[in-house]
Amino acid sequence: MLVHKAEAAAFSAALNGDTKSARKLIASLSPKAHALAWRILGEPSEAEDIVQAAFIKLFEAKQYDGKAALSTYMHTIVTRLCLDKLRSSANHKLDYGFEYDELFSVDKLTPIESLERKQSDSNVQHAMQFLNARQRAALALWAYHDAGIPEIAKVIGLDINAAHQLLHRAKINLRKKMEHLGYE
């Protein structure tokens, strides 16, 4: 049964050469895919490369059954590409020299609240660099993309119990690292 009929129809139309549908899919999936890749990799330009590669894989695979959200399928591709990149990289040290205003709307916050939020987010991002790639991916999916355990399991390629344990360990390790760095 197709749950996401409109997405499946748009995906099919894009595969059949409908550039309007393809552009619409890319526009709707790109922001969250880039944010996810950036959270895992910590480098905006690498995140852009991953998102481009993910779209190529998505359209080349020609497989989307409409049973889950297309964004879930895209998150799976992005996460796996990021994990592959991190595994192949000899240097897992991340640079978090970024501007949060580009990614998050802080218009409703007072200047003090905005500064506190930026500092807190920056501290979390810095502490996340010390986690292993799978823990970083699980936390990014959970904290920044509202993914539940079943989606994390599917995206990372684990059973539900293993995904639950991975996320639990990631939270504990992040908390310990933040305490060690003096952020809490």
Query: Domains in the chain and their CATH numbers?
Result: 5-180 (1.20.140.160)
Confidence of residue 8 (pLDDT cuts 50, 70, 90): confident
Average pLDDT along the chain: 79
- Which pLDDT tens digit goes with each residue over 59-97? 888 777 777 788 888 888 999 999 888 887 744 444 444
d(CA 134, CA 149) in angstroms, rounded, equals: 14
User: For the whole model, what pTM was predicted?
Assistant: 0.68
CA distances from 68 to 24, 34, 37, 72, 98 (A): 18, 20, 20, 7, 32
